[in-house]
Amino acid sequence: MKKSFPNIRLRRLRNNSPIRNLIRENVLSAHDLIQPIFLIDGKNKIEKIKSMPSIHRMTIDLAIKEIKILQKLGIQGIALFPCIKDKYKDAYGSESYNDDGLMQRAIRSIKKSVKNIAIISDVALDPYTSHGQDGILSPTKKILNDETIEILVKQSLSHARCGVDILAPSDMMDGRIKSIRKALENNKFFDTKILSYSAKYSSNFYGPFRDAVGSVKNLGASKKDTYQMDFSNSKDAIREAEMDISEGADIIMIKPGMPYLDIVSKINSQFNVPIFVYQVSGEYSMIKAASQNKWLNEKRIVLETLMSMKRAGANAIISYYAKDALKWMK
Q: Confirm if 219 and 133 have CB atoms less than 8 A apart.
A: yes
* Residue 137 binned pLDDT confidence (cut-offs 50, 70, 90): very high
For the stretch 277-299, pLDDT in tens is: 999 999 999 999 999 999 999 99
Specify the CATH class of 30-329 in words: alpha beta
Q: Say how far apart CA 124 and CA 129 lie, in whole Å.
A: 10
Q: 100 vs 9, which has greater pLDDT?
A: 100
- How far, in whole angstroms, is CA 176 from its chain's centroid? 17
For the whole model, what pTM was predicted?
Answer: 0.93
Angle between helices 145-162 and 102-113 (to 10 degrees): 30
* Residue 208 binned pLDDT confidence (cut-offs 50, 70, 90): confident
Task: State residue 50 phi and psi, 5-degree precision.
Answer: -55, -40
For the stretch 37-50, pLDDT in tens is: 999 999 999 999 99
Among residues 213, 197, 182, the alpha carbon closest in space to that of 80 is found at 213
Lowest mean pLDDT among 10-19, 112-121, 255-264, 295-304: 10-19
For the stretch 46-62, pLDDT in tens is: 999 999 999 999 999 99
Q: Confirm if 141 and 186 have CB atoms less than 8 A apart.
A: no
Per-position DSSP letters for 33-52, written without gaps between them: EEEEEEE-SSSS-EEE-TTS
Residues β-bridged to residue 269: none
Catalytic residue among 89, 200, 266, 310: 200
Q: Where are the domains of the chain?
A: 30-329
Whether residue 216 has pLDDT greater than 70: no
Alpha helices in 47-96 (DSSP H): 60-73
Alpha helices in 114-232 (DSSP H): 145-162, 176-186, 207-212, 216-219
Q: Say how far apart CA 166 and CA 2 lie, in whole Å.
A: 52
Task: State residue 91 phi and psi, 5-degree precision.
Answer: -70, -15
* Residue 330 binned pLDDT confidence (cut-offs 50, 70, 90): confident
Average pLDDT in the 201-212 region? 87
Q: Confirm if 192 and 169 have CB atoms less than 8 A apart.
A: no
For residue 330, what are the CA distances in angstroms to 65, 79, 327? 21, 23, 6
Catalytic residue among 3, 193, 224, 255: 255
Task: State residue 133 phi and psi, 5-degree precision.
Answer: -90, 165
Our answer to whether residue 255 is catalytic in this structure is: yes
Average pLDDT in the 122-134 region? 93
Our answer to whether residue 200 is catalytic in this structure is: yes
